[in-house]
């Protein structure tokens, strides 16, 4: 058993794993499950049906699993699921799902959520993401893997952000951002490829193929979805295929200017 403060409030029924530490003045719901090795600092609150995996670090005054900020919510059985090895900093707010969105907010593993980050209801986030201070994610947003969202950046409800994308600080994201892209501004538009992030994960030949595909998609005179379908039909590399499928599936549209360069 880990170090659990006598001043913590843990309701009967909560499932607490091995080597879990819980600080003073924490609250743990009867329906919560806390995975082994997780550390919850003083003053943090875990509400509702919240499942937290192994080795997470939850800092002071985080509020995890409190009811959705949705006027339609009427006490339905909803859930928040968090993976492993996440760092959740001070004053963050994570909401569970709603009946209209499938009932689950789902967070992956190895993510960093800096102070004051808000994750709305029915959000889905992959692995290895960084959300900087006061990033505000509205309901039903889907964020892929290895995504970086700059500080004080709101993301509109139902927006999708693809793998390896980066959103600049103080941006306002109202449309879908495809994988591998760098976007910024209010309203955010694609400025090019996320080259700094890609150089950490892909080799030069893969990046060169992405540069060529980027120019065909975003610097041609054809409609974006037409260009995406043509590239997809040409049986391109797997990274370009991922971008093209994302564009073709987009319902909110992709924000860019024809003059964008990478």
The tokens describing 30, both together, are 């009867």
How far is the C-alpha of 37 from the C-alpha of 1, rounded, in Å?
10
Of 97, 118, 120, 121, the catalytic one is 121
The tokens describing 34, both together, are 């806390």
Reply yes or no: is the peptide bond before residue 10 cis, omega within 30 of 0: no
Catalytic status, residue 192: no
Catalytic status, residue 239: no
How far is the C-alpha of 63 from the C-alpha of 37, rounded, in Å?
19
Beta strands in 101-217 (DSSP E): 104-107, 112-113, 118-119, 124-125, 130-131, 136-137, 142-143, 148-149, 154-155, 160-161, 166-167, 181-185, 188-193
How far is the C-alpha of 31 from the C-alpha of 51, rounded, in Å?
9
Of 65, 139, 144, 150, the catalytic one is 139
Of 122, 127, 163, 176, the catalytic one is 122
How far is the C-alpha of 125 from the C-alpha of 119, rounded, in Å?
9
**CA-closest candidate to residue 217, choices 185, 257, 187, 183:** 257
Catalytic status, residue 122: yes
Quote the Cα angle for 110-241-105, to 5°: 35
How far is the C-alpha of 86 from the C-alpha of 262, rounded, in Å?
32
Give the residue numbers marked as catalytic.
121-122, 139
């Amino acid at each position: 058993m880990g170090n659990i403060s006598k001043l913590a409030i843990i309701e009967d029924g909560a499932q607490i794993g091995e080597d879990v530490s819980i600080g003073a003045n924490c609250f743990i719901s009867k329906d919560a499950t806390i995975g082994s090795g997780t550390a919850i600092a003083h003053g943090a609150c875990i509400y509702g049906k919240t499942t937290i995996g192994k080795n997470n670090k939850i800092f002071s005054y985080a509020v995890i699993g409190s009811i959705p900020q949705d006027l339609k919510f009427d006490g339905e059985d909803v859930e928040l699921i968090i993976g492993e090895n996440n760092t959740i900093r001070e004053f963050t707010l994570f909401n569970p799902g709603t009946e209209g969105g499938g009932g689950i907010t789902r967070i992956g593993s190895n993510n960093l959520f800096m102070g004051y980050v808000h994750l709305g209801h029915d959000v889905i986030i992959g692995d290895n993401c960084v959300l900087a201070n006061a990033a505000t994610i509205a309901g039903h947003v889907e964020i892929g893997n290895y995504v970086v969202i700059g500080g004080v950046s709101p993301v509109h409800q139902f927006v999708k952000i693809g793998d390896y994308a980066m959103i600049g600080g103080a941006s306002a994201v109202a449309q879908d951002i495809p994988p591998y892209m760098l976007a910024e501004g209010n309203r955010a538009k694609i400025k090019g490829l996320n080259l700094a992030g890609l150089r950490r994960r892909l080799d030069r030949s893969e990046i060169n193929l992405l540069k060529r595909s980027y120019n065909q998609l975003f610097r041609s005179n054809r409609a974006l979805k037409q260009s995406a379908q043509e590239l997809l039909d040409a049986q391109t590399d797997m990274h370009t295929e991922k971008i093209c499928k994302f564009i073709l599936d987009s319902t909110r549209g992709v924000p860019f200017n024809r003059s964008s360069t990478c």
